[in-house]
Chain A
Amino acid sequence: MANHSRPMKPSFDASQPCLQARQLERYLGSEESRVHVLRGVSLTLEPGTVHAIVGPSGCGKSSLLYILGLLDNPDSGELLIGGAPVLSLVDEVASAKRTELLGFVFQFHFLLEDFSAEENVMIPMRRLGKLSEKEMGERARHLLDEVGLGAKAKRPSRHLSGGEQQRVAIARSLANDPLVLLADEPTGNLDSINSDRVFALLTRVVHNHHKSLLLVTHNPGIAEKCDWVHEMKDGLIMKTTENRPHPQPKAKA
């Protein structure tokens, strides 16, 4: 990403795994209809690795993702991002961590439709507040170039196709050069060509820039291309499979 690759000094320990989750538990619902959606999930994401979580609907994949993304708090367990504990933080601090360390990609891309592609990519940078308007614009165009949308940077996001919107969402997730990328079925709403393209883009970014990616998917084709596949069932990671032939630090289930 040339000179736009890191807009800020990292505030995490680079020698540590990108993300470590230990014995995460989560209950949902009120007293009578309480569901134990996570029953002690542990997971480690090393730099430069792509992880897939697969499993039937309701097995706790998305709940895990939202906890790892600091959008939800577990009822028990431990979570470290860049070696620092990040649970039970006040909204102010948790939000700052999300801005700085995490990038999200969702199935329905969720762009701000009133904004252009470039402006969408600039939104996380505005929150971080480390770059000038000019620098943010340059970085946004660079990221859009990376996802093959440099020519459509000024186009309103609602005038882009589904695949293009998802690529803008990926560029946006990379805006603040996050340590961890979390993706909830990022290809679930795309045709096979766009799906492959988006996945290739994500894995390229992760491998080239030593980030880690955790994606939730129902697509076995996508899952088998990931370095690690975690199969979830009833709130637990039942099985972890390594797809890469070369040795990598293990993800613990």
Chain B
Amino acid sequence: MKPALYIALRFTAARKRALVLSLSGVVLGVAFFISTQAQTEGFEQFFVQTVLGTSGAVVIGDRFQARYTPPIADKPGANTMVSGQQARKYYDGIDNPNFLMRVVENYSGVIAVAPVIEGNVTVRTDFKDEVMKLDGIDIKAHLRATALRGQVVSGSIERFEAKPLGLLLGSMLADYLQVKVGDILYVTGTEGDTRVFTVEGIFQTGINIIDETRGYCHEQAAQSIMKRPFAITSVIVRLRDPERAPYFAKTFESQLSHQARSWQERESGNLAIFRTLRLSAAITVSLIILLAGFGIFNILTMTVLNKVREIAILRSMGYRRVDIQNIFLYQGLIIATIGSIIGCALGALLTFGISRIPIKIRGVIHADYFVVAWSWHHYVTAAVIAFVSVLVASYFPARRAALLPPVETLRGSGQ
């Protein structure tokens, strides 16, 4: 063992009260960091999974026609401005959807595709009217591309499959309309045609904006009520690696001339809120670790002052300045290591405890327990913050100790 490390270990172990004080700050900071990150990321992941399970990683929408780009283009930062430029001209819906889906399915990385025809309709019961976003789906393809089967909380997919005019309703919409499985609903399209649908299932995604506005029916039924036979407005694409959705979206756009939006782009607003929350929590909790670092700075500075004579005698025995500096840096390292290990264990325990707390969240998302994410990133980040702040806090007392002139100390004590 390196002499400086050995001495640092002994110095650290000998000052138990100081050790406990130093450790407590680091342990609490690391543990709180981990548990808050687990919570905020937990809710974010929950949201992302729901988005992916409902709308897919990429949604391919309207066809567009790229326009001719003139030689004098309106470029950012240019001195000239060209008005009236339009890069694309959009056409409603998917052109030749079956062909497009076959092409998309052949991309490696694409697991499944599902066509959707969407439009707004009015649903009416004997008591209430509500506007609903109706998605006409190919149920078999949709089950492959989304997590719809797992979202059905009442009724069943099989019942829905068996009924050409069956309807799957969002749970909150069903509550508003006060309908249950088996009830009849009158659905009126924008063209004024009305069909009688039966509620064959109620689904709950956990995202209220979907649960309170959306309903699913069969593709042909939707095309009929919207008076758009054979039309498909979008194609949901499920990817093996959803993180690559922006790349696929860009590729689809350039190769298929259809608008394609990744889930990151579609949910950028919500994701930014989650990111801000995580960052805010991280900054707040990092302050605890920084405060712990400040405490360690004070403790080590006091230790250096108390050990001036011992430092001088170590120098007289041939310990170099760097050895003296390392003795105090190692003390910080020991505190950071032990603090991070205990802090990570406590953080895991806290995270587990928090995940067992029953809460009813009914807002943007919907959960009955605290949602937490178990990610090693939180532990590594917390440990890195702890190490950096403790080492920075240790550096200055260590440097001070290294620069102490031994002669001054010995002269002052010896005569």
Interface residues of A (CB under 8 A from B): 57, 62-63, 66, 69, 71-72, 91-92, 95-100, 102, 104, 106-108, 110, 112-115, 119, 123-124, 126-129, 172, 184-185
Residues B11-26 near A (CB distance < 8 A): 11, 13-14
- Would A71 and B414 be within 8 Å (CB), given that A108-B309, A110-B309 are in contact? no
Which residues of B have CB within 8 Å of A119?
10
CA distance A184 to B241 in the complex (A): 74
Least Cβ distance of B6 to chain A in Å?
A: 6
Residue in A66, A114, A185 whose CB lies within 8 Å of B407? A66
Choice from A66, A102, A114 contacting B410 with Cβ under 8 Å:
A66
Q: Do A104 and B316 touch (CB < 8 A)?
A: yes
The distance in angstroms between the C-alpha atoms of A104 and B6, with both chains bound, is 22
CB pair B3–A91 under 8 Å, yes or no, is no
Residues A99 and B309 in contact, CB atoms below 8 Å apart: no
Q: Which of A57, A96, A99, A104 contacts B415 (CB 8 A)?
A: A57
Closest Cβ of chain A to B4, distance in Å, is 9
The 4 closest A-B pairs by CB, nearest first: A99-B318, A114-B14, A126-B3, A98-B318
A127 and B317 contact, CB distance less than 8 A: yes
Q: Is the CB of B411 within 8 A of A62?
A: yes
Query: For the complex, what is the distance from the CA of A47 to the CA of B7, rounded to whole Å?
Result: 33
Option from A98, A113, A129, A185 in Cβ contact (under 8 Å) with B317: A98
B314 at the interface (CB under 8 A from A): yes
* Residues on the B chain within 8 Å of A172, using CB: 317
A119-B11 Cα distance, complex, nearest whole Å:
13
Whether A106 lies near B414 (C-beta < 8 A) is: yes
| Closest beta carbon of chain A to B196's beta carbon, Å | 87
Does any Cβ of A come within 8 Å of B323's Cβ?
yes
Hey, which chain A residues are within 8 Å of B411, CB to CB?
A: 62-63, 66
A123 / chain B contacts, CB cutoff of 8 Å: 3, 7, 314, 317
Supply 17 further A-B pairs (C-beta < 8 A) apart from A57-B415, A71-B406.
Answer: A62-B411, A63-B411, A66-B410, A95-B318, A95-B320, A95-B323, A98-B316, A106-B410, A108-B309, A108-B414, A112-B7, A115-B10, A126-B3, A127-B3, A127-B319, A128-B318, A184-B414
Determine how close the nearest CB of chain A comes to the CB of B188; give it in whole angstroms.
86
CA distance A170 to B376 in the complex (A): 53
A110–B322 Cα distance when bound, in Å, is 21
Chain B hits for A115, CB < 8 A: 10
CB neighbours of B3 from chain A (8 A): 123, 126-127, 129
Report B262-310 residues with CB < 8 Å from chain A CB: 309-310
Tell me if A72 and B407 are in contact (CB < 8 A): yes
A71:B315 contact, CB within 8 angstroms? yes
Contact between chains at A124 and B318 (CB < 8 Å): yes
Contact B14 A62 (CB under 8 A): no
Assess the B317–A114 pair: CB atoms within 8 A.
no
Contacts of B319 in A (CB 8 A): 95, 127
Provide the residues of chain A in CB contact with B7, threshold 8 Å. 112, 123
The verdict on B321 contacting chain A, using a C-beta distance below 8 Å, is yes
- What chain B residues lie within 8 Å of A99 (beta carbons)? 317-318
Binary flags per residue of B403-415, CB closer than 8 Å to A gives 1, else 0: 0001100110111
**Contact between chains at B410 and A184 (CB < 8 Å):** yes
B360-415 CB contacts (< 8 Å) to partner A: 406-407, 410-411, 413-415
A69→B321 CA distance, assembly (Å): 16
B312 located at the interface, meaning its Cβ lies under 8 Å from any Cβ of chain A in the complex = yes
Determine the chain A residues whose CB is within 8 A of the CB of B312 once the complex forms.
110
Task: Assess whether B318 is in contact with A96, with CB atoms less than 8 Å apart.
Answer: yes
Residues from chain A with a CB closer than 8 A to the CB of B317 are: 98-99, 104, 123-124, 127, 172
Closest-CB distance, B170 to chain A (whole angstroms): 68
Q: Assess whether B10 is in contact with A127, with CB atoms less than 8 Å apart.
A: no
**B313 on interface, CB distance cutoff 8 Å:** yes
Tell me the bound Cα distance from A234 to B199 in angstroms. Answer: 110
Contact call A100/B414, Cβ cutoff below 8 A: no
Residues in chain A near residue B13, CB distance under 8 A: 114
Task: Give 11 pairs: A residue, B residue, CB < 8 Å, sorted on A.
Answer: A62-B411, A66-B410, A91-B322, A95-B323, A106-B313, A113-B310, A114-B10, A114-B13, A126-B6, A127-B318, A172-B317
Complex Cα–Cα for A145 and B315 (A): 26
CA distance A107 to B413 in the complex (A): 8
Give chain A nearest CB distance to B110 CB in angstroms.
62
Asked if residues A92 and B320 are in contact (CB atoms below 8 Å), the reply is yes
B3's nearest neighbour on chain A, judged by CB, is: A126
On whether the beta carbons of B318 and A62 are closer than 8 Å, the reply is: no
